[in-house]
């Protein structure tokens, strides 16, 4: 390969994967956000499980109408949340028919627009938009993806769920070794530190070479090449900023153990990826965390839970009373509990980090794998100082889209928003109302 071909390959493999598309707007964060927020969230976590979220697996038996969860017993798949019912809000009756979910709407799940396999994002997703308005952090938005070991090793970064704009996907991390090196390589010792310094030197040199050589390209190629150059610039800048808060990072850096380098099951990597996401939140490195279990597609594996079936076949199994899906959903809920407990352990203001955090749990595929999207269950955890109602089940009439929930999150974050990614023409067909969901906000 020529040097030019080598640079283009590296840029495609690292610049896009590690640059502006993975860390959109590292050089900018919300300058006005702090003044806009008043009791709203300081951080938001999105957790999306693939293959759908059947409402029967989260709505307490016998609950048909909206009401308190105080005397209700949570279904077995989400039973781990029973001690946290006062912080839970189960919402049923939103829809996403306009996203054409089928197997998955991919970017459309968080974008509230039509999507599909191989279809590029047509606009920004809600997690990215929130990262612009929540209080400034070194890395406004972090995405992690959990899948089978084969997929995580073969494709350590993929982009299926998040986007910073039309045609601008945001990549998610699936190899915890790569993510650890990025976040904590500068404060590590031994091989991790050596690898970090070697890669840092390579990125510096590539940025210099790429910046010098890109000017001779045709206009269309030069624009795309410029994105690659910006990607290296962003990752190099992030490395410098992380180095400036090394003491803070040391307080929250997870301990590297055999699960990183010698995992027995893919769930070992799922667990340490969650630990890295939690550490990034607790250290203040990021304010928005997106977790894709199944990475927004129809794959995924959970052999560590004793489940031999994997991938597409799981979506053809009914979820209610299914021991396989009970195990997967219970595993998710244990992760949700860990997120809450870890954030509860860190003081923030007069309370804890969890007091200022909202967790949004749903699926990237409405209620099931092959779906029309007519019902899209969501669970919220946390109330952000009373901004959100909690301890409740809310049954909507099926006439408001998931976009209305995303508008609600923006309004709660200090940004007035009547509609999110939905034109008036689209809203006339798919939304019976406007503005935030009154049933969700206090």
Contact criterion met (CB below 8 Å) for 173 and 291: no
Q: What share of the chain is helix, strand, coil (3-state, %, to 5)?
A: 45, 15, 40
Side-chain-facing half-sphere of 308: CA atoms under 13 Å: 0
Q: Measured between alpha carbons, how far is 96 from 75 in angstroms, rounded to an integer?
A: 24
Task: Find, among 34, 80, 71, 164, the residue nearest to 361 by Cα.
Answer: 80
Reading the block at residue 93, the tokens are 């009756």
Cα 14 to Cα 106, 249, 342, 388, 419: the distances in Å are 22, 24, 32, 39, 35
Distance CA 48, CA 124 (A): 17
Helix axes 3-10, 190-213, angle to 10 degrees: 120
- Tell me what pLDDT residue 289 has: 98
CA–CA gap between residue 14 and residue 341 (Å, rounded): 35
Can you tell me the distance from the alpha carbon of 137 to that of 25, in angstroms, rounded to the nearest whole number?
A: 11
Q: How many CB atoms lie within 10 A of CB 279?
A: 20
Q: Is 165 exposed, middle or buried (0-12, 13-18, 19+ CB in 10 A)?
A: middle
Structure tokens at 228: 């690659």
From CA 141, how far away is CA 159, in angstroms rounded?
14
Q: What is the pLDDT along the chain (442 residues), one digit of tens a residue?
A: 343 443 333 333 333 334 334 444 443 433 333 334 446 899 999 999 999 999 999 999 999 999 999 999 999 999 999 999 999 999 999 999 999 888 899 999 999 999 999 999 999 999 999 999 999 888 889 999 999 999 999 999 999 999 999 998 999 999 999 899 888 886 655 555 555 444 555 455 554 555 565 555 566 555 555 555 555 445 555 666 666 667 778 888 999 999 999 999 999 999 999 999 999 999 999 999 999 999 999 999 999 999 999 988 899 999 999 999 999 999 999 999 999 999 999 999 999 999 999 999 999 999 999 899 999 999 999 999 999 999 999 999 999 999 999 999 999 999 999 999 999 999 999 999 999 999 999 9
Phi-psi bin for 246: left (phi > 0), alpha (psi -120 to 50), beta?
alpha
């Amino acid at each position: 390969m020529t040097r030019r071909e080598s640079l283009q390959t590296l840029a495609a493999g690292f610049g896009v994967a590690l640059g502006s598309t993975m860390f959109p707007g590292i050089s900018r964060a919300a300058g006005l956000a702090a003044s806009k927020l008043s009791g709203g969230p300081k951080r938001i976590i999105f957790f999306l499980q693939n293959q759908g979220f059947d409402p029967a697996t989260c709505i307490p038996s016998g609950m048909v109408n909206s009401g308190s969860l105080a005397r209700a017993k949570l279904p077995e798949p989400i039973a781990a949340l029973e001690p946290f019912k006062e912080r839970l809000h189960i919402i049923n009756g939103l829809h996403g028919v306009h996203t054409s979910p089928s197997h998955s709407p991919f970017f459309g799940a968080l974008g509230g627009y039509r999507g599909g396999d191989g279809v590029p994002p047509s606009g920004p997703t809600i997690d990215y938009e929130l990262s612009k308005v929540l209080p400034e952090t070194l890395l406004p938005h972090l995405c992690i993806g959990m899948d089978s070991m084969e997929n995580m090793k073969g494709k350590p970064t993929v982009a299926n769920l998040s986007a910073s704009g039309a045609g601008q996907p945001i990549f998610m991390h699936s190899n915890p070794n790569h993510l650890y090196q990025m976040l904590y390589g500068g404060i590590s010792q031994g091989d991790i530190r050596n690898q970090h310094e070697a890669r840092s030197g390579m990125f510096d040199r590539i940025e210099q070479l790429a910046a010098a050589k890109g000017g001779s390209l045709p206009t269309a190629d030069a624009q795309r090449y410029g994105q690659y150059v910006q990607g290296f610039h962003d990752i190099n800048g992030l490395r410098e900023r992380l180095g400036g808060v090394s003491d803070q990072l040391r307080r929250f850096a997870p301990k590297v153990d055999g699960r990183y380098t010698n995992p027995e099951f893919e769930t070992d990597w799922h667990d340490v990826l969650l630990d890295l996401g939690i550490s990034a939140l607790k250290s203040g490195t990021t304010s928005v965390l997106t977790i894709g279990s199944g990475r927004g597609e129809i794959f995924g594996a959970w052999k560590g839970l004793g489940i031999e079936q994997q991938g597409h076949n799981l979506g053809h199994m009914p979820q209610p009373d299914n021991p396989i899906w009970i195990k997967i959903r219970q595993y998710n809920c244990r992760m949700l509990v860990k997120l809450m407990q870890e954030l509860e352990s860190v003081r923030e203001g007069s309370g804890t980090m969890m007091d200022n955090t909202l967790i949004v749990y749903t699926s990237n595929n409405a209620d099931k794998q092959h779906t029309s999207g007519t019902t899209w269950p969501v669970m919220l955890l946390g109330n952000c100082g009373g901004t959100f109602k909690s301890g409740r089940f809310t049954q909507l009439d099926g006439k408001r889209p998931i976009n209305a929930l995303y508008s609600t999150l923006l309004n709660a974050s200090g940004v007035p928003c009547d509609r999110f990614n939905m034109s008036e023409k689209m809203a006339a067909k798919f939304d019976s109302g406007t503005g935030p969901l009154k049933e969700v906000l206090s």
